[in-house]
Amino acid sequence: MWVASIVFDNLLETLLLSSYNTRLVVLGTTLLGTAAGLIGSFLLLRKQSLLGDALSHATLPGIGIAFAVMTSLGFSGRNLPGLLAGATITGLLGVILVLAIRNTTRLKDDAAMGIVLSVFFGLGVAILGIVNKLPNQSAAGLESFIYGKTASMVFADFLLISATLIITTIVCLFILKELTLLCFDDSFASTQGFPVIILDILLMGLVTAVTVVGLQAVGLILIIAFLIIPATAARFWTHDLRKMLWLAALIGGISGWLGSSLSALLPDLPSGAIIVIAAASIFIVSMLLGPARGVLPRYQRHRTLKKKMGRQHLLRSTYEILENTQDTHPLRNLPIPIDKLRAHRYWSKGELKKLLRQARAEDHVERQPSGAIRLSESGFGEASRITRNHRLWELYLIKHADIAPSHVDRDADMVEHLLGAEMVHQLEAELETEDHTLASPHLIET
C-alpha cells in the first residue's frame, strides 16, 4: 500500500509538472518534437529524410572544434551556446556539400548523403579524440551530444527550443505554397521562376536549427528519428498536406511528452531512447490503423473492391447471357442455368458459389426451384447499368486509345469498377450517344 501511494504520488507529480526540472524537460521535449514533426514533413515529402541524418552527424566536428577554440582562447570549453554555434556551422557545411554534390555531379541524393555522413562523423570522432587529450581541459561530457542528455536541460535550453518552434512555424506558414511546390515538383517550380536553390537552402536551414537545438535533448544519433517518425506516422492518416503538417507536429509533441514523462517516472531509462520508442509506438499504430494509408484500412478497401468486382462480374455475365439468348428488347428476365453462368467466365464451383451467396445476400439474384438462378428486379436494373458502363468504357478506349475491339474487354475490366456517376456522364458526353441499350463494341465493325 505504501509503495502504491509513492508510485501514485510520482505519477501525479509528473502529470501535473509539479517539479521544476520535470516541467522544463517535458515541455522542452514536447516543443522540440512539435518543431521536428513540422519540419520533418517537408523533408519526407522532399524525399530527403536521410538528409537530417547526414546533417546531425555533420554537427559532431563542429562541437569538437568549438570546444578546442574556446579552450585555446581561455574560455570554458563547455559553453553551450559556443558548442551549438560550432555544431551549426559544420552542420550547414555538411548540408551545402550534399547539395553541391547533388547539383554538380551525377551522384544521387543517397550517395551524397552517405559520403557526407560518414566523412563528417569520422572526422568528429577523430576531433573528439584529440580534444580529450588537451592539457588542463576535460572534454568529458561531450559524448552527451551523441546520445543526448535530456535531464540536464536548463531554462535557457527551453527558451531556445521555444524560439526555434516559433520561428520554424512562422517561416513554414509564410512560404507554405513555395515549400509545397518544392516538395512535389521542383522542376515545375524552377520553370515558374521560383528560387528552388534558395528554398532548398532555407529548408535545410530550418532543419539545421531543429537538429542543433535537439542535440542536447536526444543526441545527434536519435534526432533523425524525431525528424522522420512523426512525419511518416502522420502520412498514414491523411492525404491533405496541411492536415499532415499539424498531425506530424502533434505526434512529435506527444512523443516528446510521453517519452520524457516515462523517463521522469523511471529515472534509469534514458530520455532520448524512450522518446524515440514512444514515437515508434505511435508510428506502428498509425501504420496499422491510419485511414489514408494504414495497412488494415487498405486491406478492408481491397476486400470491399474485390467484393464489388465479383458482384459486377456476376451481374454483367448474367445480363450478357440474357442478351445472347434473346433477340427482343427489352430483355426478359429469364432463369439461367448455373453451368451456363459458370462457363461464361470460367469460374470455379467454389468461387461461383461464393459470388452467388453474396448476390443473394444483397438481393440481386433469386434461386429457382430448378436450381437455376434469376436476377431480382433490383439485380436486373443493376446488371443493365453495369453492362452499359462497361461498354461505354470499351467504346471510349476503342475510339480514343486505339485499342482493338478484340483486346478491349480486359483493359475495360481493369478500370470499370472505379467508374463513378460523374465519369459515366463524361463518357456519355464524349461518345455523344443516347442509346440506352448500348450494344457490345466487340460486335461493331471498326
Question: pLDDT digit string (tens) for 8-30?
Answer: 455 555 555 566 677 777 888 88
> Which CATH architecture fits 300-443?
Orthogonal Bundle (1.10)
Enumerate the domain spans of the chain: 2-293, 300-443
Are 117 and 54 in contact by the 8 Å Cβ rule? The answer is yes
pTM over 0.85: no
Using CA of residue 65, residue 66, residue 70, residue 76, what is the dihedral sign?
Answer: negative
Class of domain 2-293: mainly alpha
The grid coordinates of residue 244 equal 499532415
Chain-centroid distance, C-alpha 352: 38
**Nearest partner of 207 among 189, 218, 223, judged by Cα:** 223
- DSSP letter, residue 441: G
State percent of the chain over pLDDT 90: 8
Give the Cα separation of 275 and 271 in Å (integer). 6
pLDDT tens-place string over residues 382-428: 888 888 877 777 777 777 666 666 665 665 566 655 566 676 677 66
Q: What is the pLDDT of residues 354-377, one digit of tens each?
A: 888 888 888 888 887 777 888 888
Residues 6+ apart with CB under 8 A from 161: 28, 31, 32, 35, 213, 217
pLDDT per residue as tens digits for the range 159-185: 878 888 888 888 888 888 888 888 888
278-291 pLDDT, tens digit per residue, is: 889 999 999 999 99
Is 300-443 the same fold as 2-293? Answer: no
The H or E element that residue 378 is part of is helix 377-400
